[in-house]
Every structure is written in structure tokens, then in C-alpha cells.
Amino acid sequence: MNNKKVVSFLPYIAVIGILLLLISSRFTSNAKSFTYNEFLNKADKIEFKSAEMSMGTTVIDISGTYMEKGKEVGFMVSVPNTESNVETLTKTFQKNKKMKLVVNDPNRENFLMSFLMNILPFIFIAGIAFFMFSKMNAGGNNKAFEFSKSKARMEGNIKVRFKDVAGCDEEKEEVKEIIDYLKDPKRFTDMGARIPKGMLMVGPPGTGKTLLAKAVAGEADVPFFSISGSDFVEMFVGTGASRVRDMFKKAAQAAPCIVFIDEIDAVGRQRGAGMGGGNDEREQTLNQLLVEMDGMGENKGIVIIAATNRPDVLDPALLRSGRFDRQITVNLPDKRGRYEILKVHARNKKLAADVNLENLAKRTPGFSGADLENVLNEGAILAVRGKRKIITLDDLDEAIDRVMMGPAKKSKKYSDKEKRLVAYHEAGHAVIGLKLESADNVEKVTIIPRGEAGGYNMMIPGEEKMFPTKADFMGQITGLMGGRVAEEVIFDEISAGASNDIQKATKIAKAMVRSWGMSSLGPIQYDDGTGNVFLGRDYSSGSNYSGEIAYEIDKEIRKIINECHEQAKQIILENKDLLTLIADTLVEEETITSEQIMNLMNYGTLDNPNEEKKQTIEKLEADATDVFETERVEEQTAANELAESELDEALKELTKDDFHDEN
């Protein structure tokens, strides 16, 4: 048994032991107990010292002491309450005039002791029953009286500040007026202004929505209630609505405060879109949330902040003015934002001197704040695993690969044929990146397996754009086709290794035709624009175009893919020697960097010969400088020695002349 469980039972064991001791002390004594006949036979022969008679209705309880062999001994006896017995006992005890006789009325006994002795067994049994039931409820987690209580957790004295939230400067500007309102609401009410009751933060996972909400509470120095949307809904009808009421009641008591509801789409989905009818528990919870938000007074000081990455499924009533008045989009950070985020998370990291966070930010497009934090954390773990005192650039490079693709499977061995196939596949992507201007730049190529991929090619955009053009998308698709085309050209065969490339290319082509109007079908949107499918809403809705248009869409998608495939094939055929050179290098080295790839393209080797010449010249110049300095020092030393010797000779001559003059 666990020691903690034993310790938890000790108070109960102690109480039970004390109770048993009290009960036993009540009924056990060292006094000698006589029977009625024994007492009558010995009464005349005993020298009594004291006696106490308790006159009951039918029985007389007698206790006292008598002398036996020079010692005082206690006795107890019960005799029938008759007139003859009373007279006999009175005469017996009165024979010794020094004896102390006390006659008690049983109706005047200690009422408290009598009450305790009568009621104590029942209290004891009730306590055991309560203890057993409480343990059963705790073990089964059946807290019946807590179903309707809110699960919102209140945090006070929040330490997070705006300086801890990087990469979202515009979003911080949007929420600053909320902070001013929570600090001094009178300024706004005097002006007749109404601060939004609710703010909805929308953005991909890991972009810092929760952290930003905490920073608002930290800057305003107000309590912070946090709860998830799924915490409202239970299997019991009415529980969610009751929890909503309880949450707003607690928030009103702690006002001014911030209530943060994470993943609000779990409870705020559109009503009437459920597969099992509209009157379910979730919709009742949503109705109560709508009522509570609309019923908040102007000066209650409660600000609701919610977060979701699926705003398209939220009920329109939740987004109307007076509820979630303001919608703040927290997007993935750009290069500068990633650099600021890395600086925040690198505060407690011991980085090597050659680690440049700006370069690291450049190499991680599309990473969220959580991904960047994970990169630095993985780098620190790798440094500890390698027993290093600092986090090196190699650690961070491996960490980026781990976050993107998973750990390297170095134990997985290719056959020679498979290794060449993967090398040419990845080299095909690299050649397209090098030779096609609109394609993404090649940052790193490896044939070490990671995750489901046999190798991968890290390609980053040359410039991060808010509005990519059709040429940009065509360049991306062409780059994705490079590996497949290289297999066709070199091996006259295709493998399943390009499945992920084909999936990405098809997705881009579909979006070009259906969403962005980048085809001959014109600037018409043929999808619903809601992104992910919401089954309850989209199950019964048909497409908004005819079957003929669907056929045309398929033709346009195929046309885009075929054009990019042919362009990739042309580039590969024109640069077949470069393709073979990169593939052969990959077979030998397994991983090559962007700088090495550029050297292969420009000089045919991994190293830059001009750089080697430059280093050689610099070394020769440094050696020549050292020789010149050495010769100069030697000449100066020789001149100094000559001057010293001439000075010594002059002094000797002078001394000799002075000696002759004295003579």
C-alpha cells in the first residue's frame, strides 16, 4: 500500500482508538463484583469504609470500598430494590459510624455522560458510513454537487507581459485599449465610449493566442479566468448552461477581470447544424453563453477573450456586435517576427558564438511561435545529449529537421539502387530550384530518411510575399515535379517517393483554379471558401457549380500540372550533367548545404577554389609579414648591439684620458 494512503488513514484510526478506550473505561474497573447472595452472606463480616447507593426503580446499584488483609478493596453489587433490602443495607452500613455512606438519585446522574454513552455508538456508525461513502464517491469521481460548478481556473498576479509576446506587434496595438479600459474604465464611460465586450482571436495553432490573452491580463494587472470550450459540455442535460452562469457569476465578483475561452468552436458551433437534431446539450450551453454576454452591463468590467482556428463554424449570433465585437487575426510570423520570437526564447539558452538568430529566422518560413520554441528546446536537448556546454549551429540545424520531418533514421539502410534513386530524386528538386527563377531557393538537400520520407529538400522562398502571383505558384509546382521528372529521365521509371510532392502540387493547382481564378475559367470562385469541411453544415449542401464546370475544373488542374511537368523536364534535360554531379555528391556525402550546392554548380566541387586561393594568398601575406617583422626586429637588435658596443668603447677611451690627466 502507498505510504500516503496509510498516513491519510492515521487520523481515523486514532479517533476510533480513543472512542474504544472511552467505552472500555466506562465498563471495565478493578473493583470486585459480588453477586446478590454473596453480598448478603458476607455483609456482616466485611468492614466497609465507604459506600454509594444509587436507588433505581427496581435495582439498587452499590459501589464502594472495604478492608481486606489491611488493604482497601473496591466492590460493586446490584440488589433488588425492596423495602427489606433497603433496611438491611442501611443497618449494615450504619454499623460502622466512621463509614461514609452516600445515597444518589439516579435521575440526577451526569446527563452529558449518559447522553454520550447512549448516542456515541450511533455517531460512530454514522461516521464510518460517511467515511465509506465519501471514499467511494472520490474513487468514482462522482461529485454530484459539483456538476453545475464552473471549471474556469482563476489566476492572479500574471507574470506574462507584452515583452514576452513577440512577432505580433499589430495585434498588441489592437488590445492596448482593453488594458487602458481595465485600468481606468471611467475615462471611456465619461466619453460615452463602449469597449468591446468580447474579442475573438483567430489564427493557426501555435501562433500565441493564449499567450497574448495572458499578456493583456498581466499588463492590466487583473484576474485571469481560463477555460476550454469542451469544459462546458457534459452528458447531463443543463450542466453546460449552469456552468456558464456560474462562470459569469464568479467573474462578476472578481471584476475587473478577463475571461479566456480557448477553442470556443467546441461550444460555439452553428446551431441547427448537428446531425442528431438541434436541441442538444451543446446548443443549450451556447444559448446561455449568448444570453450572458448580451446581458453584461456596460460597467461590469468583464472582458471575454476567445480563441479558435475554425472561425468559419462559429454561430453568427456569437459574432454580432455586442458580443464578440472585435476579431483579431494572429497570423504566422514573418521573418522579422520569427527573429523577435527566437530572441525571446533564447534568453535562457547558452548559444554558441557562431549562432545567428537572423539566419535561423530566414531558414524557418512558415514556423509558428510554438515551432520556434520547440526548435530551440530540441537544440538544447541535443546539446545535453552530446555532453556539450553550449548549443551549437549543428544542434539547431538538426533541431529544424526534427521539427519539420522527425528524427533521422540513420539505422535504416538503403540498397545501392534505392540510394541512387533517392539521390537523383532530391537532386532533381535542387536543379529546378537553382535554374528556375520563380522556384524556391534550395537551402539543404539530404538523403537521410526522416519520418515517412526517404530524403528531403529544404526549399525556402527567396522573398516572403503577402500576395504570391501565378508565376510563384507555377514555380512551386515545377519545383515539386523535379524529383519525379529526374526519376523518369535517369531511370526511365517512376517510384512512390513523389507521392507527397504530387499531393502538394495538386492542392496548389486546385486552389489556383477553384479559389484564386488563375485559369481560363476566369475570376470565379468554385469552392465555398470555408476551408475545412463542417459536416453538420456541409453534409446536405451540394456544389455551387454544374457537372460541366466540374469537368472543366479537372481539365484546368490537369493542364497546370502538365505544363509544370513539361517545364521541369526541359530544365532537367538541359542540366543533366549538374543533376548527375549533385546526385553523385549526395551518394557520397548524404547531406549538402546551399553553399556547397552553389559551389557544385559554379566550380564543380564542394569547395570554392577561389576561396582556397584567397586563403592561400592571405596565408602567404601573413607569413611574409611575419618574416619582414622578424628581419626588422633582428636588424634593430643588431643596430642596438653595435651602438652599445661603440658606447662602451667611447667610455673606455674617456676613462683612459681622465686617468692620464690625473697623472
**How confident is the model at residue 510, as a pLDDT?**
93
501 is known to lie in a ligand binding site: yes
The residues facing 257 across adjacent strands are 302
pLDDT class for 252, splitting at 50, 70, 90? confident
Domain topology for 416-530+546-603: Methane Monooxygenase Hydroxylase; Chain G, domain 1 (1.20.58)
The mean per-residue pLDDT over the stretch 134-141 comes to: 52
pLDDT class for 178, splitting at 50, 70, 90? confident
365 is known to lie in a ligand binding site: no
Alpha carbon of 503 to those of 28, 33, 195, 422, 498: distances in Å?
89, 99, 46, 18, 9
**How confident is the model at residue 535, as a pLDDT?**
47
**How confident is the model at residue 139, as a pLDDT?**
47
311 is known to lie in a ligand binding site: no
The mean per-residue pLDDT over the stretch 574-596 comes to: 88
**How confident is the model at residue 28, as a pLDDT?**
46
Q: How far apart are alpha carbons 429 and 444 in whole angstroms?
A: 11
338 in Cβ contact with 372 (< 8 Å): yes
Domain topology for 335-404: Helicase, Ruva Protein; domain 3 (1.10.8)
**How confident is the model at residue 572, as a pLDDT?**
92
Largest CA distance in the chain: 165
**How confident is the model at residue 297, as a pLDDT?**
56
Q: Residue 457 above 90 pLDDT?
A: no
Q: How far apart are alpha carbons 484 and 480 in whole angstroms?
A: 8
The residues facing 47 across adjacent strands are 67
17 is known to lie in a ligand binding site: no
Q: Residue 120 above 90 pLDDT?
A: no
The mean per-residue pLDDT over the stretch 620-630 comes to: 61
641-652: per-residue pLDDT in tens? 666 666 667 666
The mean per-residue pLDDT over the stretch 229-248 comes to: 74
593 is known to lie in a ligand binding site: no
Catalytic option among 171, 378, 426, 488: 426
**How confident is the model at residue 231, as a pLDDT?**
74
Choose the weakest-confidence range: 153-167, 441-455, 477-491, 602-616. 602-616
Q: How far apart are alpha carbons 289 and 267 in whole angstroms?
A: 9
The mean per-residue pLDDT over the stretch 7-19 comes to: 62
**How confident is the model at residue 459, as a pLDDT?**
78
Domain borders along the chain are: 31-109, 153-329, 335-404, 416-530+546-603
Q: Residue 328 above 90 pLDDT?
A: no
**How confident is the model at residue 513, as a pLDDT?**
92
- Which of 525, 524, 528, 557 minimizes the C-alpha distance to 542? 528
454 is known to lie in a ligand binding site: no
Q: Residue 258 above 50 pLDDT?
A: yes
The mean per-residue pLDDT over the stretch 555-569 comes to: 94
pLDDT above 90 coverage of the chain, percent: 11
**How confident is the model at residue 554, as a pLDDT?**
92
Q: Residue 552 above 70 pLDDT?
A: yes
207 is known to lie in a ligand binding site: yes
Higher pLDDT, 181 or 140: 181
210 is known to lie in a ligand binding site: yes
**How confident is the model at residue 9, as a pLDDT?**
60
314 in Cβ contact with 269 (< 8 Å): yes
pLDDT class for 98, splitting at 50, 70, 90? low
Q: Residue 524 above 80 pLDDT?
A: yes
Higher pLDDT, 115 or 447: 447
**611 is a catalytic site residue:** no
266-304: per-residue pLDDT in tens? 888 887 655 544 456 777 888 888 888 876 555 567 888
Q: What's the one-letter identity of residue 394? A: D
What do you get for the CA distance between the two ends of the chain, in Å? 117
pLDDT class for 74, splitting at 50, 70, 90? confident
75 in Cβ contact with 32 (< 8 Å): yes
Dihedral pair phi/psi, residue 155, rounded to 5°? -120, 130
204 is known to lie in a ligand binding site: yes
pLDDT class for 329, splitting at 50, 70, 90? confident
Choose the weakest-confidence range: 148-152, 333-337, 346-350. 148-152
Mean confidence (pLDDT) of the chain: 77
pLDDT class for 22, splitting at 50, 70, 90? low
CATH 1.20.1250.20 given to domain 31-109: no
Q: Residue 385 above 80 pLDDT?
A: yes
187-223: per-residue pLDDT in tens? 877 787 777 778 888 888 888 888 888 888 888 888 8
**How confident is the model at residue 502, as a pLDDT?**
92
Q: Residue 517 above 80 pLDDT?
A: yes
- Which of 392, 220, 195, 146 minimizes the C-alpha distance to 298? 195
Dihedral pair phi/psi, residue 190, rounded to 5°? -65, -30
For domain 153-329, which architecture applies? 3-Layer(aba) Sandwich (3.40)
